[in-house]
């Protein structure tokens, strides 16, 4: 599968709470990949992470929110893509149960709208020597954040990520 996919999950709710399937072998087959690693992050309301990518071994991520709400941002960074530089935004919440497949060739990040636990099922192991990022605040990406500027929490590393133009001077995908 070459492009991202938003999987709409059936959530079964009753007075006790809810149940939904976060992963199945059939999802893996539909996405034509094999998953090797699970990661969970916690982000306080206002946290912004990304945009990250890994080119060797190229990493795709199956992302869903276990608790909370995020706006998930992905940007097509494939050199020969007709959608190069196009940014997509998905609202992922523990209530809607949506799961986003972010394939290799897309930079990924998110903004926490509430305190949030996010789970990533990855199809390759993390390799710090072959990871990169693009600054979420790059004006070319035209991302409109929900949180107010004074409420944003971001790491120094993510603040200093390269511009989209700099990425385009040294494509990885």
DSSP per residue over the chain, as a string?
A: --S-EEEPPP-EEETTEEE-----HHHHHHHT----EEEEEEE-TTBEEEEEEEBTTB--EEEEEEESEEEEEEEE--TT-TTTT-EEEEEEETTT--EEEE-TTEEEEEEESSSEEEEEEESS---GGGEEEB-TT-GGG----SS-GGG-B--HHHHTPBPHHHHHTT---
Q: Which of 52, 53, 64, 73 is catalytic?
A: 52
pLDDT exceeds cutoff 90 at 11? no
Overall domain count for the chain:
1
User: Has 148 been annotated as catalytic?
Assistant: no
Q: pLDDT over 70 for what percent of the chain?
A: 99
* CATH code of the domain containing 163: 2.60.120.10
The reported pLDDT for the residue numbered 2 is: 65
> Whole-model pTM?
0.92
pLDDT exceeds cutoff 60 at 1? no
Q: Is residue 173 part of a domain?
A: no
The reported pLDDT for the residue numbered 65 is: 97
Q: Which of 64, 73, 108, 120 is catalytic?
A: 120
Q: Is residue 81 part of a domain?
A: yes
User: Has 52 been annotated as catalytic?
Assistant: yes
Mean pLDDT, residues 90-100 taken together: 94
Domain range for 27: 5-13+22-168
Q: Is residue 135 part of a domain?
A: yes
pLDDT 10s digits, 16-42: 988 888 888 988 898 999 999 999 999
């Amino acid at each position: 599968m070459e492009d991202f996919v938003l999987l709409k999950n059936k959530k079964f709710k009753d007075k006790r709470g809810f149940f939904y399937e976060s992963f199945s072998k059939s999802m893996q087959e539909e996405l034509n990949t094999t998953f090797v690693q699970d990661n969970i992050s916690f982000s306080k309301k206002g946290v912004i992470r990304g945009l990250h990518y890994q080119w060797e071994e190229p990493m795709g991520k199956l992302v869903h929110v276990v608790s909370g709400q995020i706006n998930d941002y992905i940007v097509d960074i494939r050199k020969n893509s007709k959608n190069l530089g196009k940014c997509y935004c998905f609202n992922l919440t523990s209530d809607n149960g949506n799961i986003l497949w972010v394939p290799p060739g897309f930079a990924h990040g998110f903004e926490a709208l509430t305190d949030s636990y996010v789970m990533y099922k990855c199809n390759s192991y993390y390799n710090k020597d072959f990871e990169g990022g693009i600054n979420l605040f790059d004006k070319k990406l035209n991302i409109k954040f929900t949180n107010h500027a004074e409420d944003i929490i971001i790491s120094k590393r993510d603040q200093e990520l390269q511009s989209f133009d700099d990425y385009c001077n040294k494509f990885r995908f």
